[in-house]
Structures are given as C-alpha cells and as structure tokens.
Amino acid sequence: MTYDNISRAAWTAAQQRLQVETGVVVDTDQGQVTQQITEGFLKGAITFSWAYDEAAQQLTASCVAKPWWAPESTIDVDLTNLVEGQ
C-alpha cells in the first residue's frame, strides 16, 4: 500500500505508535521486520516491509507474509490506521 503526503513528523509518529502498540522497533526509512503473533490458540508470524521517501513524502508498506488465519483485509485496515494515526 502506498500512502501519500506523509511528512517526516507523521512517519516518526507512526514509528512510535508501532513500537507502543506492538513492541516492534522501526528505526530506519526502509526495511523489513517479522513479528510473532498469537491469537488465542493460533500462532504465527507476520512480516512487513516498508520504504519511506522523505523527498516525495510517500510511504510504501506491505505485508509480505502472514499466517493463513490472519485476514489480509484486517491487516490492511490495521496498517492504514497505524499510518494515519487512528
């Protein structure tokens, strides 16, 4: 997913929200991270990649791997909420 009009301040705020809400530290403008998740008795890992372009004020982020039981639509909504500060 691509998010436009993301200032450096908005990107920094999203990084902070991610750390507070999930414990995942994202301290670079591009990369990939895998987080173990548990939902009741279900366990798995979810992997995200991201690239922030400050000059274009654009963030590209995507889920590149997820457990079979984690709906992609829910992941997309959660990611958008995180980026947009909701």
pLDDT per residue, tens digit, the chain (86 aa), is 999 999 999 999 999 998 898 888 899 999 999 988 887 888 899 999 999 999 999 999 999 999 898 888 888 898 898 888 86
Model confidence, pTM: 0.84
pLDDT of residue 75: 87
Which positions ≥6 away from 40 have C-beta within 8 Å? none
What tokens does 48 get? 């995200």
Nearest CA-CA partner of 82 in 7, 2, 16: 16
SS3 47: strand
CB 22 within 8 A of CB 35: yes
The reported pLDDT for the residue numbered 7 is: 94
